Amino acid sequence: MEVRFLDLSQQYAGYRGRVLQAITEVCDKQTFALGPAVAAFEKRAAAYCGVRHAIGVSSGTDALLVSLMALGVGPGDEVITTPFTFFATAGAISRLGARPVFVDVRPDTYNINPDLIEPAVTDRTKAIIPVHLYGQAAAMEAIAEIASQHELKVIEDAAQAIGAERNGRRCGSLGDLAAFSFYPTKNLGGFGDGGMVTTDNDELAAKVRILRDHGQDPRYFYHVIGGNFRLDGIQGAVLDVKLDYVDGWNARRRALAKLYNRLLADSPVQTPLVEAENLCCYHQYTIVAPQRDALKDYLAEKGVGSAVFYPKPLHVQTCFKDLGYSPGDLPVAERLAEEVLSLPIYPELTDQQIHYVAGAIRAFYGAR
Ligand SMILES: *Cc1c(COP(=O)(O)O)cnc(C)c1O
């Protein structure tokens, strides 16, 4: 049996007709930069996330960047975040001349450990960026508490968490601002790059809207220095159609995760812990596996794709060496980088395929 790590073509067949029609409408109107399709998507995406404002932008990376810009983060400022995330979370901080301050993660949820945040706060700290890694919300109440005590802003990195909830509230509504990615492999993926900022704050929303289009309002009158962070009309049209399917897809991901949990219980691998407060959207299903690299090779031999998110934590990346971190500084993230393995979890997988993957994992350890 072959179980590819990800296969978007099966899913495409399910909504192909609707999406092609939506794209054709954008082409017929020639409204490629922002435009009515983006505005329509923004309105529905805001309602979906339970916030007043959603602002379409060019990528998840730019959603983080423009959110930090809207908060006025710049040189001399510090922003607390996790080292166990995609590069862009910290890259956006550094690009504005601010300093990422990395705080270690929890070994069970893989998310930033809220107990370690407060000791990292200084009088230069401006914001916290928790990441809802693999589709599970970070410990937002504890983070909000620290933020309010120290007058910090919170930006959710919700790139992997569309439709995920904490205490019944959707990700994107849990911080001052949130950044989403619509990179094609995300739970809601466009036909190219795209992203979105959500917020309930009218003032911040107005800032983000202006910043994503060079800081102009009206055209050719510049209030602040922004950039070209616009979302394409075609992406807005595609995302508006695909938004209808997200809840169904996420539910199927949860069913697959439940099956993995059952089949891998009492095996040598650690299955992902989802906190009682959370409804996880399983952007990834990530285990902690002894002899991870050998397991990955073995699965590949058996026709099973898997992936490592992420093989090297950010605090020890070459590009951040000036920050002065050393190996050993954030031991949980460093260990996870060596032991995590993400298994296939897209909604089109059959139960039979999950049985096959779990069986192969058990066979790997059984043979040793
Ligand atoms: C995908 C991702 C991003 C960046 O999104 P792009 O759309 O690829 O720029 C940022 N943070 C996290 C956690 C991500 O997974």
> Looking at ligand 1, which atom is closest to the CA of residue 193?
7
Q: Is 172 in the pocket of ligand 1 (CB under 6 A)?
A: no
**Per-residue pLDDT, 180:** 99
Centre of ligand 1 to C-alpha 181, Å, is 5
Name the class of domain 8-103+110-244: alpha beta
| 86 within ligand 1 shell (Cβ under 6 A) | yes
Across 110-132, average pLDDT: 98
* Identical fold, 8-103+110-244 and 245-366: no
Confidence bin at 111 (pLDDT 50/70/90)? very high
Ligand 1 pocket mutation, candidates 61, 84, 235, 310, criterion most atoms within 8 A of CB: 61
Q: What is the pLDDT of residue 125?
A: 98
3-state secondary structure the chain: CCECCCCHHHHHHHHHHHHHHHHHHHHHHCCCECCHHHHHHHHHHHHHHCCCEEEEECCHHHHHHHHHHHCCCCCCCEEEECCCCCCHHHHHHHHCCCEEEECCECCCCCCECHHHCHHHCCCCEEEEECECHHHCCCCHHHHHHHHHHHCCEEEEECCCCCCCEECCEECCCCCCEEEEECCCCCCCCCCCCCEEEEECCHHHHHHHHHHCECCECCCCCECCCCCECECEHHHHHHHHHHHCCHHHHHHHHHHHHHHHHHHHCCCCCECCCCCCCEECCCCCEEEECCCHHHHHHHHHHCCECCECCCCCCHHHCHHHHHHCCCCCCCHHHHHHHHHEEEECCCCCCCHHHHHHHHHHHHHHHHCC
User: What pTM does this model have?
Assistant: 0.98
Nearest alpha carbon, ligand 1 atom 3: 60
For the cut 90, the answer to whether the pLDDT of residue 248 exceeds it is yes
pLDDT at 367: 61
Q: How confident is the model at residue 363 (pLDDT cuts 50, 70, 90)?
A: very high
Q: With 80 as the cut, is the pLDDT of residue 3 above it? A: yes
- Distance (angstroms) between ligand 1 centre and the Cα of 88 equals 6
Ligand 1 pocket test target in 57, 64, 67, 86 with most atoms within 8 Å of CB: 86
Ligand 1 atom with least separation from CA of 160:
15
Specify whether the CB–CB gap between 84 and 313 falls below 8 A: yes
Q: What is the mean pLDDT of the chain?
A: 97
pLDDT for 166: 98
Question: How far, rounded to the nearest angstrom, does the alpha carbon of residue 175 sit from its chain's CA centroid?
Answer: 14
Q: What is the mean pLDDT of residues 279-299?
A: 98
Q: Is the CB of 195 under 6 A from ligand 1?
A: yes
Sorting pLDDT into bands at 50, 70 and 90, what band is 368?
low
* Dist. CA 149 → ligand 1 center (Å): 29
Residue 131 has pLDDT above 60, yes or no: yes
Q: Where are the domains of the chain?
A: 8-103+110-244, 245-366
Q: Separation of 184 CA from ligand 1 center, angstroms?
A: 11
User: Rounded mean pLDDT of 353-366?
Assistant: 97
Answer yes or no: is the C-beta of 89 below 6 A from any ligand 1 atom: yes
Q: Is the pLDDT of residue 284 over 90?
A: yes
- pLDDT by residue (tens digit) across 188-211? 999 999 999 999 999 999 999 999
Ligand 1 atom with the shortest distance to the CA of 183 = 7
Mutate to test the pocket of ligand 1, among 58, 110, 183 (most ligand atoms within 8 A of CB): 183
Whether 352 shows a pLDDT value over 90: the answer reads yes
| Ligand 1 atom with least separation from CA of 186 | 1
Task: For 33-47, write each residue's pLDDT tens digit.
Answer: 999 999 999 999 999
CATH architecture classification, 245-366: Alpha-Beta Complex (3.90)
Opening angle at CA 128, ends 124 and 133, nearest 5: 150
